[in-house]
Amino acid sequence: MFSGGQNLRALREQLGLTMRDVENASAKVADKHGNDEYSIPPSRLSDIETKAVVPSIYRLYSLAVIYRRDIRELMSWYGIDLNLIAADIDTIMPRKSHVSDALTAMSSARVPVRLDPSFDLKKTSNIGRLVEQWGVVPLAYLEQFANCNYTYGYVGNEDLTMYPILPPGSFIQVDESKNKVVDGGWRSEYERPIYFVETRAGYTCCWCSMAGETIVLQGHPLSPVPARVLRYPQEAEVIGQVVGVAIRLGEWHTPESLAAQKARPALN
């Protein structure tokens, strides 16, 4: 694999440019912007091409202009891939609310492009097991779907177990490393861990508690879904803890639909 400098040299030679040509062109860029940092003397260009010297952001801009290439491509030759911003952006959580433009420069993202035909919007599902193919498409905010540390689920249109905290139609992010039920330690229902659980009847999101060799799957107090007691782990597997959720606002179920749900028999 070529280094960044070798790629830049090959690109210059493909265009039939000499080092003096690059110097003269970069000098014009420097004059236009009133900043000598854009200028690239032949000696510095030689160091960049042959001695693994990393160009400054100003000189990298000049090279992108002179060589007619996207600066993101030149940055990728030095190991900087802007399409990875979404995967790295959660390394810090700012204390104050803010507008984020960090992902607007991204050009592509890895997302599911083909799902298992058995995917049913009515049922809660483990999306990670339904993805048949990943592909690169220009949907930057979905890049985190490729993170192998998490799995992703969909709360079925008929699953009211954690309503109204997790309304039907929500997409959830599940941390599989947190698959042990925590007993206590929360101050409110919003701090209580919600788990993504697989049972013989399918998947569900719920609060959990252990009772000997059984696990209690408990819904929200406002939910019409009754609690279930199952043998653990024979009848229920805790996939992980729900750590992220994407929901649509303004589409809450009406009281009539909740009443209809109460009339349905509970899943076993």
**What does the pLDDT read at residue 101?**
63
**What does the pLDDT read at residue 133?**
58
**What does the pLDDT read at residue 255?**
43
Query: Which residues of the chain, if any, have pLDDT below 50?
Result: 97, 138-140, 253-255, 257, 267-268
**What does the pLDDT read at residue 147?**
57
List Cβ neighbours of 208 (8 Å cut-off, separation of 6 or more): 181, 193, 195, 197, 215, 216, 217, 218, 238
**What does the pLDDT read at residue 93?**
67
Q: Strands of 52-140 (E only): list them.
A: 109-115, 125-126, 131-137
Q: How far is CA 88 from the centre of its chain?
A: 9
> pLDDT of 107-165, one tens digit each?
555 555 566 777 677 888 877 666 655 555 544 455 555 556 788 888 888 899 999 99
**What does the pLDDT read at residue 85?**
77
Distances (CA, A) of 264 to 77, 158, 224, 260: 59, 11, 9, 7
Could you give the residue range(s) of every CATH 2.10.109.10 domain in the chain?
109-262
**What does the pLDDT read at residue 126?**
79
Distances (CA, A) of 96 to 92, 100, 117, 142: 12, 12, 42, 23
Q: Which fold has domain 4-80?
A: 434 Repressor (Amino-terminal Domain) (1.10.260)
Could you give the residue range(s) of every CATH 1.10.260.40 domain in the chain?
4-80
Q: Which fold has domain 109-262?
A: Umud Fragment, subunit A (2.10.109)
